[in-house]
Chains A and B, each alone.
Chain A
């Protein structure tokens, strides 16, 4: 198989192409606040080298082993840029800005420039798209990490009084998080030998049947360990919704506020608080 024209051009005019490519990146605007020109130069030089090697084996199948180094480099760069705050077009510009200098070289050196330009264009388009895909994957993994770190936002179980625990739930409750939070509560009940646990849902925007089921399971498990639960912070709109869902809270004590729940808890423990001024 003969060596593709583009591979020859890349090899022969490597240093010129590099300079013109950098110039065309500069013209498009380099985010010097996010990346320094030295890095841009190194990246461009490196990619150009990898390109000219890969192109030797043909420029049609970018999925092949020869193209792997190129793919890897574009992927790594694009992912990094998505984390660094580059926009999608800024990221794609890196690859696309090689078009102009490469086309110029084809124009100046080829007998049949039109067909070579088409090939070069297809090649760079594919690489540009690949860069976009990598950028998006990078974005998605950032989002996923953020979601996971939110899940890990631990909800503290606090001891309000000897024998009285409270857990203020805040935010969306989904299987994972609810599970973690509820287990933490049960553990703390055992550890502190508490008699009463107040689950406060003031900060929970939605109580659906899954959340209700988790709450009820926790109440049952706590009971088995000798502790009673009070659910507080059920706002009117949540109460109305629970009724329509058909969820029965059974004999679970509910209170509208954490303060009310706390005073019920103290009463149950036969503790009376007296104002100092009465002394």
Chain B
């Protein structure tokens, strides 16, 4: 069945590795070039958030299927401070740091399915799907 791997997100170079592995997974389930680039970019956004705002975390990469079609499923989680106001965080242009504030909204638009759970003080968990 599907292949699942877990990667740490502790330092900047881990994001590079996650991007490479997501690209590999997307190729393996035969996503098109545009879809590959979209899921890789979404992963890069969410992974960087986990690192910068969540104090580090991990990324689960799964090669799987969705309704019989090849799919990549990512779960990126951290045990950081969480997001107190999710609606505000999702708004394009909102940043509590010095970013562009487009990571969360952008990642959501780049994938086929996006789910976010965040508890203040407990951390954040984001699930991303892209399928053929």
Contact = CB atoms under 8 A, between A and B. Distances in A.
B110 interface: yes
Contacts of A240: 34, 37-38
Interface residues of B, number: 25
B15 A246 contact: no
A208 B109 contact: no
Interface stretch (A2-10, A29-37, A209-217): A209-217
Interface residues of A, number: 22
B2 interface: no
Interface stretch (B53-61, B62-70, B98-106, B119-127): B98-106
Interface string A232-243: 000011101100
Contacts of A175: 12
Nearest to B16: A172
Contacts of A246: 92, 102, 105-106, 109
B45 interface: yes
B130 interface: no
**Chain A interface helix/strand/loop/mixed:** helix
**Chain B interface helix/strand/loop/mixed:** helix
A209 B45 contact: yes
A205 interface: yes
Interface in B1-52: 12-13, 15-16, 19, 23, 33-34, 36-38, 40-41, 44-45, 48
A210 B105 CA distance: 14
Interface of A: 147, 172, 174-176, 205-210, 212-213, 236-238, 240-241, 244-247
Given A174-B15, A208-B103, 13 more contacts: A147-B13, A174-B12, A174-B13, A174-B16, A205-B19, A205-B40, A208-B48, A210-B48, A210-B99, A240-B38, A241-B38, A241-B41, A246-B92
Q: Nearest 6 pairs between A and B by C-beta? A: A245-B106, A237-B37, A208-B44, A244-B109, A209-B100, A237-B34
11 contacts: A174-B12, A174-B13, A205-B23, A209-B100, A209-B102, A213-B99, A236-B34, A244-B110, A245-B106, A246-B106, A247-B102
